[in-house]
Amino acid sequence: MLSIGFFALPLANLNVQDGYKPISELQNQNLNLYHIEYVAPEMIYNYGGKIPSITTEEGYTIPNEKTFHLLTKTEQPDTIEVLSKLYKMEFIDT
């Protein structure tokens, strides 16, 4: 059992992506964070708080702030296209 710990712990450090930015860093930027549709539970946990949705049954409820963060998936090109016509969007990878 002891040998598993010695071999597994060094391998855990190899699984970190280059340039990875944790979602928790967004809290330090003083901008509200919203999401479209589904957010994985681990994202909410890593963020450390609630992440309100802008999706409603009628469409979208756009926040009043001029600048905010929005979690999306790349599999939502239609949504991104609609919002990019209304807002200037800057894509940030995490």
Q: What is the pLDDT of residues 10-29, one digit of tens each?
A: 555 555 566 677 888 888 88
Whole-model pTM: value is: 0.70
Region 58-82: what's the mean pLDDT?
A: 82
Q: Tokens 């790349």 — which residue?
A: 74
Question: What average pLDDT is seen over the chain?
Answer: 78
Q: Is 13 a member of any domain?
A: no
pLDDT, residue 16, reads 59
Q: Please, are residues 35 and 70 in contact by the beta-carbon 8 Å criterion?
A: yes
Contact call for residues 26 and 69 (beta carbons, < 8 A): yes
Give the Å distances, CA to CA, from 4 to 9, 10, 23, 65, 71. Answer: 8, 10, 31, 50, 37
Q: Which domain holds residue 73?
A: 21-86
Please give the helix or strand (H or E) that residue 79 lies within, else none. Answer: helix 77-86
Does residue 32 sit within a domain? Answer: yes
Q: What Rg, from alpha-carbon coordinates, does the chain have? A: 17
Number of domains, the chain: 1
pLDDT per position as a tens digit, 44-61: 998 888 999 988 888 888
